[in-house]
Structure 1
Amino acid sequence: MAEVQAHTPGPGRTAVDARALERIALAAIGAVPGTLGDAGGGLSKLTGRSLPRVDIGVDASGTVVTVDAEIAVAWPAPVGAVAARVRDTIITWFAEAAGVTANSVDVRVAEAHPDPARRRVGAAELAGFDAAPGFAGPAAPARPAPARPKATRTTPVRAIAAPPPPAVRGIAAPAGLDGWTPATPAAPRPRRVTAPERPRVVPVRAPAAPRMRPVAAPPPVRPRPVAAPPELRPVTPTMPLEPRPLVPRAPRPVRLARPRVAPARVRRVSAPPPPRPVPPRVIPGRVPPAARRADTTQEERP
């Protein structure tokens, strides 16, 4: 994390870590009426993107500080006036709490939520708000009691004989060596840094009231006569007949008749007479001449 050079009197160097400036900026935002702390729920809290958020930018020399702040404003409240008071409070707290000059402070109103306390913040309250942090000065240190000198027992000093100084031998420098004199570096030229222009505050207008549109009531519905059905005759329910209990009866004995077997009559059967043979009869007929010639040719062949 980068460090910022603080403007403090006296010798030495004072540096403030950017994380300390971030916490000072968050405390300054929470002190302004009309701002909400720990806004943004659901996924924003899990990803660490809850409001308010502060991003501190420091250049390489540690002298130019820029602040980008995103805040949530309680609605209804003058959003532009709340953002302006947040910017002034951050600049004042940096100067008084850390001795750091904020060169640029950008405030972005990311969300607007209803105030949980249902307290309305007006322009008069914001105008009378004191941006100074109101830190208590350091307590004066307690004055120490004067110390009383205590007498100590003296120790006799023994004389010590110093050894004779050693003889110094002269050394002749070789000829031809010229002395080298280092050149003094030129003083660094300070770079001029111009503060960026202050962003213009854009007033935020409240949304216009919705325009009411007249709505005509529909005409009444005419009731349609409905004829009631004829009266139904009452039906007297009939009780079911009570079943008579079944009395088991013993079966009557059946008299079996004795079968009568009559002798079968045998009828005489005679065999039929054997068939009589029928003598063959010769039927006279005419043989065609072609068949007769064919028979004659077959007989002549050997």
Structure 2
Amino acid sequence: MTTPFDEIPTAQGRTQFSLRAMEKVIHVAIASVPGTAAVDAKLAGLAGRAFPRVMAQMDPDAKVVAVDADIAVYWPSPVTDVASAVRSAISDTVRDFTGFRTTRVNVTVGGAVAGERTSALAVSTRTPLVAQIPAIVPAQELKEIKTSQGVAVRQIAVPAAPAVRGVATPQAVQVRTSGFGPSPQRYDELRDITTAPEQPLRHTRDPQPATVRSVTMPSEFRPRSVDVPRPLQPRPVSAPHPMALRKVDVPRPVEPHHVTAPRATALRTPQVAPSATSRNLRPIEIRPSADFTRRVDIPRPTPLRAITITPFAEGAHHE
């Protein structure tokens, strides 16, 4: 793609753009997009910020620039379309006016201002900024035209003018200007008109003005830095040595043998002697006494000892 700067023949030397000039070009590109608002910090209050805010980073040798822009938009308006149009306008304007290429264009919507409604059609059909370059047409040397032989000029036959017919106008109609008033007989008999009696006026009191509450504006949201944890480094894991298989002896199955059960014995019914049932029992009272308490020695707990289990070595046999 060629820019207007490529068509102009350059002399010896180089052209440099200062950072202030580049930011001025970016400001003009932002103002060309419908829906963007210019906010002055003095009019926005003590905690207000000026918009738009532009920060550009340039590399004059590579002719590239990175742009970070904070803008304010009018509400209601398609905020997403306005931000996208601002990003395209910055990239195109910087390329057309300075010849630099944008490597990054970040647009942040930092505020909304109540204003005239902006439609998405007005944003999409915006007029891009065009660099005004004078058109220089080089003078060309004219050559004389020579013909081999003369050309006979032909006569042009003009047709005769058509005859004009006369137009006969009708006679003028006499317009009557009098005789439209009402007849005298209309006002002979008049009827009386009765009106309603007058009503006394009531005194109207104005309502007391409502108390206006002060509205506190929320504080500006400050972006917080998010710390990303470092990726965990994998640690080597050592697996235990595989143990050798040991031989397991399975006992032989037990053969069942014949068991003889003893003969069943007849059950006897117990009988209580009559002397035991007629004997009176005496109540027994147990009284606790401190003389019977004894001291019991409990052994002290023994501290646990560490036991080391040595795994079987590979190829060892254990029964």
TM-score, normalised by the number of residues in structure 1: 0.39
TM-score, normalised by the number of residues in structure 2: 0.37
